[in-house]
């Protein structure tokens, strides 16, 4: 079952309306009746959030998982200037406030709480975990933004200039952004589907957005050891948008005792959208198997206690 509703959230940059989407299973599968899990979904920056949500969330709901998603400020159908991130801290706080409120509803209080993030959404997931280190049951990270490619990392003096300019002319769309669609999605038909969607951002990055993404990625890379929750990181071996070495670094650095890294040779950045159907099926099978194992583990703990 699909539900769409609007939220009014207040933060330092003003009041914004956010689109929230909830996918709930029509009937819980037998093995999930005692612990049907809630999966919070966070989307990629400038990716096709709507189609990702529809496919991924529907698949998870069909397996017995309730899925809640939100469009960030300036993304998807939420209000704000398209593609503009005035404050990553505010973005994360908005997600935290909403998702925790969902988890604290009476019908969700006894459920497991997983986060799912793609690309920039992976960075948001990591920061949500850092805000509440013991709150979340686990996370699934798809090609997460957790490290800037060393070849693309600007020198310190350029970072200083970017910081100053982003305060003076924050919305100036001057940072070149290569056409990600052609290198993110294999299928020509799916590429066209993305290009024709009005909610998919196309164009240069605003100065403030570029600065926020840079600073967040540098901060996350420096503090990957703080990641302590159970997680599954999945990354395409031929990803040209976010280097798979970042996922490897996350796996190596995280203090989590329960961590899994899956690299998929030949797959691009659009892991769930644009790959051959049989590859996508295997990908989702791995994802659901990981979730099922951890919800069953919790069930066993409840029984033994």
Catalytic residues: 119, 239, 269
Backbone angles phi, psi at 117, to 5 degrees: -135, 140
Could you please report the per-residue DSSP string of 53-115?
IIIIIHHHHHTT-EEEEEPPTTSTTSSSSTT--S-HHHHHHHHHHHHHHHHTSTTTTTS-EEE
Question: 31-63: b or e for each residue (b if 16 or more CB lie within 10 Å)?
Answer: ebeebbbbbbbbbbbbbbbbbbbeebbebbbeb
Alpha-carbon span 158 to 162, nearest angstrom: 6
Strands 138-142 and 173-175 turn out to be: unpaired
Residue recorded with tokens 């509440």: 132
Residue recorded with tokens 């329960």: 258
């Amino acid at each position: 079952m699909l539900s769409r509703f609007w939220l009014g959230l207040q933060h330092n940059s003003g009041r914004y309306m956010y689109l929230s989407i909830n996918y709930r299973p029509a009937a819980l599968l037998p093995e999930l009746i005692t612990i049907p899990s809630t999966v919070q979904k966070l989307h990629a920056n400038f990716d096709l959030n709507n189609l990702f949500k529809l496919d991924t969330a529907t698949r998870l709901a069909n397996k017995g998982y309730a899925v809640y998603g939100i469009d960030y400020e300036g993304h998807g159908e939420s209000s704000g200037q398209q593609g503009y991130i005035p404050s990553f801290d505010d973005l994360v706080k908005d997600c935290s406030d909403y998702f925790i409120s969902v988890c604290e509803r009476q019908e969700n209080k006894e459920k497991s709480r997983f986060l799912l993030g793609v690309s920039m959404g992976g960075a948001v997931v990591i920061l949500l975990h850092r805000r509440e280190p013991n709150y979340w049951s686990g996370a699934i990270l798809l090609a997460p933004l957790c490290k800037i490619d060393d070849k693309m990392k600007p020198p310190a003096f350029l970072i200083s200039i970017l910081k100053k300019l982003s305060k003076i002319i924050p919305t100036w769309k001057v940072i070149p952004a290569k056409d990600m669609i052609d290198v993110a999605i294999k299928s020509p038909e799916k590429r066209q589907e993305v290009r024709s969607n009005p909610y998919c951002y196309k164009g240069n990055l605003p100065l403030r957005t570029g600065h926020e993404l840079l600073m967040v990625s540098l901060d996350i890379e420096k503090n990957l050891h703080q990641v302590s929750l159970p997680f599954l990181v999945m990354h395409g071996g031929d990803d040209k948008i976010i280097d798979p070495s970042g996922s490897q670094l996350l796996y190596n650095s995280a203090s989590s005792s329960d961590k899994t890294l899956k690299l998929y040779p030949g797959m691009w950045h659009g892991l769930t959208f644009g790959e051959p159907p049989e590859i996508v099926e295997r990908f989702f099978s791995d994802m659901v198997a990981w979730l099922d194992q951890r919800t069953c583990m919790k069930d066993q703990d409840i029984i033994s206690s």
